[in-house]
Amino acid sequence: MQDALDTGTAVVALESTIFSNLGLPSPSNEEALNRCIRAVRKEGAVPALTAVLDGDLCAGVNPDTHERILESTTKVAARDLSTSVAKKLSVGATTVSASLVIASAIGIEVFATGGIGGVHRGADITGDISADLLAISNYPVLVVSAGAKSFLDLPKTLEYLETLSVPVLGWQTNFFPAFYLRSSGLSVSSRLDDVTEVAVVHRTRTNLGQGGTLLGVPIPADAEIDPSLVAEALEAALDDVEKLNLKGPEITPVVLASIAKATGGQSIPANLALAENNATVAAQVAVALLSV
């Protein structure tokens, strides 16, 4: 991976949680990984899957190790990286925050994920805010996602990103995407319709010594789930969370499983489509960054 960076090749970092047993169910997780890798390569960039393997922090893992990541049940966030190294963790799936730390450390400027974490509902009482947001503000990496996970408090998530001075860009849209939905109805700070514009925004921020940039890419129109069905599924999922008294990182896998059940499995192909689409846009931006 370092060779690609040294020779000026576009590189896109990928998190591994979505591809693990903590993300999509097997065999959909493997399909998602393969589709994202192909999408990045098709646009002329190199995919760099991040993970912890045998106590090493990795970006661009060997394909021979993919099976270990697909079977992983250990999630590693930014705060866990140092202890993972110290304890020589066998395999850990990296979250958005951990992936950004690893990507930034070796000079990768573009990162693709499904949806970022954010401010959880009821955070005014619990204080439950994802480390993803602080990581985006701290590390000079452009994050490409389908907005934030739809079970979060999206207005407060956007407000928190504004407080952290993170520009929330809309890819060919005026509205912040809501994962399974193309629009949350909430405005982005700027709409950009060209990858060169995105590259210039990010390059300007890095030149000024500012942090990362968030690019919200709507799920492809043909993969969007009916909004009323999403609302019903979210209500059922959040009921499950409350009954189980889940907190922080425990919430996401339970909610995703509940939504998959409530939507009759529609959320799985939706996840695959948005992850692949994000990888495509991320690769296009990574290539554009080489010229600005």
* Catalytic residue ranges: 15, 149
Q: Extract the tokens encoding 24.
A: 């999509």
Give the Cα separation of 90 and 257 in Å (integer). 26
Q: How many CB atoms lie within 10 A of CB 3?
A: 9
